[in-house]
Structure 1
């Protein structure tokens, strides 16, 4: 691969002759790992023209670098980084001078230090990855996704690929969501009531910014999705966590001065509790009585392989007070970063304006590719394939858990892709997770899902979307063995 000529720059304050400066510049690029073995350097004519020096200056620098075995000359082909050059395995830029800015004073708001769990980059290297929310390449329809992406790159869709929508969305994707996705949840919506987002988390952030300020109160479930708690904390509102029970969020525990209620009734995160129909009606009635809005996160409703999902809160809403959030992250793949929100037109209008000031709109090519994948039937086929695989994995999980005497604290009524586990009293699941990583087992500690200083440490989550059935039994056995060892050590 040739090295681009415009990546070369001479330091105007550097000492020495121009030839020495050129030679040092190239040597530093090799020593830092920026230039790799076998990469071709620009021709002496191009580099001389770019740097504003004579060609003989570059030629002499190249010749000296060849003599020192940094470069090699291949006849009329040009100069290349030598196989014997001291190239480090990882590119490490030359350190800059220390900042003179006092960042402790310059930063007006801090967004670090939240509770969002960090998944290791190399989680796929774990033999037993009980990780939640990641895609399994064996279940994804690569071929048809590629075909849809190529179709979206065609001349017919040139505008969808290249145009600045500003605050609009791909009409094909919006139409599919309105005509096919939402009716499956009993929801009827016009295009003006639908907004495409960069995933569900982006939708929740937009909702929080539009609906909340420092005078307003938001209720969240406890435990809940940690990133949701983080973003509401940053919103500066008054935040009240309400402990969920086996049926999800209890309406009678919601304070009367609440302005916005955030809930995941169909598949509570992380306990997987499903809110019964009567409680859904009670929650809407309570919200009406206190004049609160409800933001419904309906993630993972597509993973209903045990029973049909319960009606969405939005489908029961007669007042227009429910804002519905959906996502393709679990059903397609999380890296797609496409979701949507549905609400009354005045709210969506403000949400659309806020999104436009931040990112304009999600990439048009990804919207059009997804629209084709959905409308051509590939999405429904993938959901059926994933449902069958998750059903088998769920059965293997429950059988292994029962055989090894582990305790399930929560399991989705209609399916899903995870189990909420409870370890023996006194167990710190973070320590358990650290111990298991040495055995190539990945689990998610439960403490970050809880609010407040006194967090329950004995819970942990086991996802089964990315682990083959054949490895589940052995993986669960290792978890049980590690728990036994921890109890023995404490005893």
Structure 2
């Protein structure tokens, strides 16, 4: 592999000889691992032409480093990073380092402070990963997705693939969503009522920025999806947590003066409780009386195991107060990062303008690939496969939890791909989770889901989307044993 000449830059104003500057850049490249043993440097002629210096300057710099065994000259082949590099002269690499720009004057750290730190990026190395929202490769139709991706690269789709759509979305994908996906939730919508997003998280951010970006007051469920709390922390809005019960968010507990209410009515996150129909109507009535918008995150409607799924809030919203957010992350695969918003055309137009300022539109190739995946029947086939697998895993986990005497929080047995559990008095789920890592088990402690983290100390979530069915009983046994040791 050859190192491109464009990597090197010479500054005549640096106060150092040009030869020394070049030598330092080569040494730094080796020290930092950017230049690897055996890689070929540009020829002295090419590099001198690129830098606008005499060829002898490059030759002298190379010769000095060959003499220290950092480089190796191979006759007509060229000059290479030595295979066995002696320790390079650190003092020379560090000399002349310029003063660093002081970013602390410009960064207040609010985004980093709001970010979750409890998720395990290395979850695949654990034998019993009861983590939510990750994919099981055995359930994803990789061959079908690849076929659709190749088809989207064809000449027919060249414009959709390559063009800057100026904020517009793939019409074929939008049409499929309006004609096939939304009707399954009882929602009727036109194309101008739909906006594609980079997942549900992006949709929640757009809604929060539009409704609360200049402050205001909103209500969220408690406990709730931690990513929503991260988003709202940036808006400057007053956030009012409202405790959920076995039927989800209670409308009677909402405070006055709200601009927006965020809810996961169909599968409350993380408890999995389902808001009954009369409570949904009560929430819509209150929205009209008090004038607040409702943001409905319907993140996992496909996974219902106790009869037909309840209609979405948006389906019974006759006044247009609901902003509906859906996602393909749980049904196709999480890394797809595609979702959609459904709302009044005026809201969608504003959201489209805001999205255009940030990312213009989701990548055209990804949109068209998903359009094919949906329209050719692969999506429905994969959903059927996932439902069967999840139903089996859920039944196995329910039996294992009952056998080990672990306590489910009431109200969360209707669906979703996880369980919400409660620990005995005196046991902290954070300590439990940390200890279980040594047993090759990953669980999700409860505190990140609560406005006051200590309220979640006795709760934890167990998901089964990414763990094989035959591993579930042993994983539950290890969790129960750890709880027994801690009790």
1:387-398 pair list within 5 angstroms: 387-398=387-398
Q: Residue by residue, what CA displacement relative to the aligned partner does 1:388-445 show, whole Å, maximum 9, x if unpaired?
A: 2212221221222122221122575443211111111121111111111222211111
Report deviation, 1:335: 1.9
**Contact persistence 1:411–1:418 (CA under 8 A):** no
Q: Name the CA distance, whole Å, in 1 between partners of 2:135 and 2:214.
A: 38
Q: Residue by residue, what CA displacement relative to the aligned partner does 1:353-398 show, whole Å, maximum 9, x if unpaired?
A: 1111222111112111111111111111111111122122212212
**Contact persistence 1:274–1:413 (CA under 8 A):** no
TM-score normalised by structure 1 residue count: 0.91
- Residue 102 and residue 27 in structure 1: after superposition, are their counterparts in 2 closer, same or farther (change >3 A)? closer
5+ long unaligned stretches in structure 1: none
- Residue 243 and residue 197 in structure 1: after superposition, are their counterparts in 2 closer, same or farther (change >3 A)? same
**Contact persistence 1:30–1:86 (CA under 8 A):** no
- Residue 140 and residue 98 in structure 1: after superposition, are their counterparts in 2 closer, same or farther (change >3 A)? farther
**Contact persistence 2:273–2:414 (CA under 8 A):** no
Matched, 1:186 2:186: yes
**Contact persistence 1:272–1:410 (CA under 8 A):** no
1:29-428 pair list within 5 angstroms: 29-74=29-74, 76-85=76-85, 99=100, 101=102, 103=104, 106-107=106-107, 110-114=110-114, 116-212=116-212, 216-409=216-409, 412-428=412-428
Report deviation, 1:75: 5.3
Q: Residue by residue, what CA displacement relative to the aligned partner does 1:420-475 show, whole Å, maximum 9, x if unpaired?
A: 11111121111111111222211111011111365231101111111112222222
Q: Residue by residue, what CA displacement relative to the aligned partner does 1:199-244 show, whole Å, maximum 9, x if unpaired?
A: 1111111112222355632111110011212222322223211100
SS at the partner of 1:354?
helix
Q: Name the CA distance, whole Å, in 1 between partners of 2:358 and 2:258.
A: 28
Deviates more, 1:147-156 or 1:417-426: 147-156
Deviates more, 1:407-416 or 1:133-142: 407-416
Q: Name the CA distance, whole Å, in 2 between partners of 1:451 and 1:17.
A: 59
Q: Name the CA distance, whole Å, in 1 between partners of 2:454 and 2:129.
A: 28
Report deviation, 1:181: 0.5
5+ long unaligned stretches in structure 2: none
SS at the partner of 1:455?
helix
- Residue 424 and residue 46 in structure 1: after superposition, are their counterparts in 2 closer, same or farther (change >3 A)? same
Report deviation, 1:15: 6.7
SS at the partner of 2:324?
strand
User: Considering only aligned residues, what root-mean-square deviation do their CA atoms show, in Å?
Assistant: 2.4
**Contact persistence 2:73–2:79 (CA under 8 A):** yes
- Residue 410 and residue 341 in structure 1: after superposition, are their counterparts in 2 closer, same or farther (change >3 A)? farther
Q: Name the CA distance, whole Å, in 2 between partners of 1:411 and 1:79.
A: 70
Q: Name the CA distance, whole Å, in 2 between partners of 1:158 and 1:87.
A: 51
Q: Residue by residue, what CA displacement relative to the aligned partner does 1:59-101 show, whole Å, maximum 9, x if unpaired?
A: 444344344332334554433322212589xxxx979656453
Report deviation, 1:6: 0.4
Q: Name the CA distance, whole Å, in 2 between partners of 1:317 and 1:202.
A: 23
- Residue 21 and residue 447 in structure 1: after superposition, are their counterparts in 2 closer, same or farther (change >3 A)? closer
**Contact persistence 2:3–2:42 (CA under 8 A):** yes
Which residue is equivalent to 1:451? 451
Q: Name the CA distance, whole Å, in 1 between partners of 2:109 and 2:485.
A: 44
Q: Residue by residue, what CA displacement relative to the aligned partner does 1:110-144 show, whole Å, maximum 9, x if unpaired?
A: 22322635422211111111111011222211112
Q: Name the CA distance, whole Å, in 1 between partners of 2:411 and 2:419.
A: 5
Q: Name the CA distance, whole Å, in 1 between partners of 2:56 and 2:213.
A: 66
SS at the partner of 1:460?
strand
Q: Name the CA distance, whole Å, in 2 between partners of 1:74 and 1:107.
A: 49
Q: Name the CA distance, whole Å, in 2 between partners of 1:305 and 1:315.
A: 20
Q: Name the CA distance, whole Å, in 2 between partners of 1:87 and 1:405.
A: 60
SS at the partner of 1:462?
strand
Q: Residue by residue, what CA displacement relative to the aligned partner does 1:296-338 show, whole Å, maximum 9, x if unpaired?
A: 1100112235532111111111111111100111112222211
Query: How many residue pairs align between the two structures?
Result: 482
Q: Name the CA distance, whole Å, in 2 between partners of 1:322 and 1:380.
A: 27
TM-score normalised by structure 2 residue count: 0.92
Which residue is equivalent to 2:483? 483
Q: Name the CA distance, whole Å, in 2 between partners of 1:100 and 1:34.
A: 23
- Residue 110 and residue 99 in structure 1: after superposition, are their counterparts in 2 closer, same or farther (change >3 A)? farther
Q: Name the CA distance, whole Å, in 2 between partners of 1:25 and 1:163.
A: 39
